[in-house]
Structure 1
Amino acid sequence: MNNGSAPLFVPETPCIIIHEAIMERNIEAMAETAQRNQVQLRPHAKTHKMPHVAKRQLGAGASGITVAKVSEAEVMAQHGISNIFIAYPLVTPSKIERAIALSRQIDLILAVDSDEGASRLSQLAGQHGHTLKVRLEIDTGLRRTGVPYDDALALASRIHAMEHLRLTGIYTFRGALMNKKPTLDLEAAGVEEGRIMVELADRMRALGIPIADVSVGSTPTGAYAATVKGVTEIRPGTYVFQDRMQAKFGVCGLEDCAGSVLVTVVSRPAADLAVVDGGSKTFATDVQPNTEPLLLQGFGHVVGLEDAVLERLSEEHGMMRLGPEAQAANLKVGDRLYIIPNHICSTINLHNQVLFLRGEAFEPVPVLGRGKLE
């Protein structure tokens, strides 16, 4: 409670609020999962993009972090993070040069998924008299980056022979997918992901390729993939804050969502319509409503108003359709609402800072990795 000595800080909206105690609970739970299954935890920092949070994860037992961009790795390294995996193929000379420079300062692992990409890494590393640690990305069904599974042995052999690369492991990202389709059977998806990657690693070792790392697992599947003997590492990201998507998957409850967007009602044009000051520049739209397998309604969960649906977004406006219960709440212009976004990772990247809530006190923390596109 406020002791009356000073007024409580009231944040401007829209803004992201992170409930620190819930975040800490999420961090500890995933660290315990990794420890129980005797695998390394290397969280993907794409969710928070903040060294402040990465250090909390490392302090709880994470072995390092994962990022997607050289620029993100540079930000993290500048703030004392010394073990980083860039889980994204680097193919342009400028980015490779930056990665080489960074790898002289910290323990850095790079990603490859093609002959051409690996050759570029090896050639530039050789020009600097340097050897780069790399992992080979495997496509296990998502059809994104990653060498096709059936071509992985041959490519691994060629990379292993490259003088200035040291192939330390393989990794994949598949998420909640089975048979190339989204699934709600997270256990089956995670176990299968782990199994096929372990089998591939064993086949590579039989060819004399010393694969040490078998890295798998997203927030939905990580706990299950970790149970597969031979998996050495999981790389969940969203778990640190959780979001509506993970709650619908059953990974967590809405009460485990540390991140939410605080908005203000700015207009009440009709009994069944409220407009808030958060639109597509506030809420991520990459997880669209009414899509398989989750069939989420709207762009976020409106806390305390179960039949309110944030169903439309323009750039600065969020249009909420109000059901009977929400109408009975008699929302007024100026009222504030918390909305748990469908996807917290992309939502964080829209904001320059977040506010960490400790009791009744807010601490602004800059999202230092935001907008790092290169």
Structure 2
Amino acid sequence: MLETPCLVIDPDKLANNIHQMAETLRPYNVKLRPHTKTHKIPRIAKKQLNDGAVGITTAKVSEAEVMAQHGLSNIFIAYPIIGETKIERVQRLNRMTDLTIGVDSLMGAEKLSAMAEADQRPLQVRLEVDTGLKRTGIPYDQAVELAQVIHNLPALRLTGIYTFRGALLQGKPTLDLERAGIEEGNMMASLAKRIREQGVPIRDVSVGSTPTAAHAAKVDGVTEVRPGTYVFYDRMQAQLGVSSLDDCAASVLVTVVSRPSDDRIVIDGGSKTFATDVQPNTPPHHMTGFGHVVGYPDVVFERMTEEHGMLKVTPDHSFQVGDRLRIIPNHICSTVNLHNRIYLEKDHGEYEAWEVSARGHLS
């Protein structure tokens, strides 16, 4: 019997989610480069490649190192690489993989170029563009100028542009994912056209998260999408209408450890088990609580401490100490990073443990 709390995966739903995204994108002339930050597991990345992905995306150098150690060779690190030691690690990866990295500043680009020139091995880079999320990325109206400068640096090969925008429409959170995806795609395709007009022959226009990938892919000029959450889905994606709760391949198995009152049960999973980065009652999701309790839609996972989860119930619920529940977390990506392994359900109540190999690889 599994010890709780633990992260359990339905392998049929996992396989179906991987396949359905590939099939959805197949009619369009775009490449699928899934983001592995969601699962952090090379075996799942290989399943994605076997179902049509051209390569993978990571957020950090250390994630890319793990994936490369397990034989994945076409990698895009979608993050600015800053600092000499990280650049040295990137250079080592560049010798063993088909590597592309993100850049969003002149200072970062110049340092990359100087070290790559000394190494006598050019680096492929993509320019990150801020299209409204106000995270990393050169401001949209400055991208053409910076692209020209990077193109002229001696040891960098500017292959394209990319963005992460999420579910934004005209700068605001939205549930209109089709318009959001098309707007994102049009912004980047238009920018790529203006960069090419200035003599910079970029190839890649990379966009699209799980909510918007299928819609952004319809835009002429988009060449690649990078969804991640779709392998498992989560409550947030179900709330956005991207999936149903039944599509969610991952759930956290927990045990009721206390029922101190008629209206409250306590489970053995708290903030060290469930992600807390997607808060309840925030736009555009407006979810109640920190997760969906499978089979009990009226139960509210209302608060957590480190080791305890407090669920609001009604007196007519017959929960007892020792009962086991499954909870679909609000955000699966950050939840996975809290677990050393996942457990794939097998026949006859058996499970297969897979290591989350890139868990905690933050540098």
Question: Aligning the two structures, in what range does the TM-score lie when normalised by the shorter sequence?
Answer: over 0.9
Q: Which residue of 2 aligns with 1:368?
A: 357
Q: Distance in 2 between matches of 1:125 and 1:233?
A: 26
Structure 1, unmatched stretches of 5+, are 1-9
Q: Deviations over 1:174-201 (max 9, x none)?
A: 0001222111110110000000100000
Which residue matches 1:72? 63
User: Please, which of 307, 319, 323 is the counterpart of residue 335 of structure 1?
Assistant: 323
Match of 1:347 in 2: 335
Q: Which runs of 5+ in 2 are unaligned?
A: none
Q: Provide the residue aligned with 2:247 in structure 1.
A: 256
Equivalent position of 2:108 in the other structure: 117
Q: Report deviation, 1:294.
A: 1.1
State the 1:126 CA deviation: 0.6
Deviation at 1:292, TM superposition (A): 1.2
Separation in 2, partners of 1:62, 1:308:
38
Alignment equivalent of 1:165, drawn from 140, 156, 165: 156
Displacement, 1:373?
1.1
Residue type at the aligned position of 1:148:
P
For residues 223-234 of structure 1, the aligned pairs below 5 Å read 223-234=214-225
Q: Are the aligned partners of 1:191 and 1:228 in contact in 2 as well (CA < 8 Å)?
A: yes
8 Å contact from structure 1 (residues 21, 358) kept in 2: no
TM-score w.r.t. length of structure 1:
0.96
Give CA deviations for 1:123-144 in whole Å, capped at 9, x if unaligned. 0001101100000000000010
How far does residue 72 in structure 1 lie from its aligned partner after superposition?
0.5
- Please, which of 18, 24, 41 is the counterpart of residue 32 of structure 2? 41
Task: Give the secondary structure class of the aligned counterpart of 1:371.
Answer: coil
Any residues of structure 2 matched to 1:1-374 within 5 Å, and which?
10-323=1-314, 327-359=315-347, 360-374=349-363
* SS, match of residue 3 in structure 2: coil
Distance 1:42 1:172 in 2: 13
Matches of 2:316 and 2:70 in 1, distance apart? 49
For the residue of structure 2 that corresponds to 1:85, the secondary structure is strand
**1:38 Cα offset (Å):** 2.1
Q: Deviation of residue 358 (structure 1)?
A: 2.6
- Percent pairwise identity: 61
Q: How many pairs were matched up?
A: 362
Aligned residues of 1:280 and 1:315 also touching (Cα < 8 A): yes
Please report how far the alpha carbon of residue 36 of structure 1 lies from its aligned counterpart in structure 2 after TM superposition. Answer: 1.6
SS in 2 for 1:36: coil
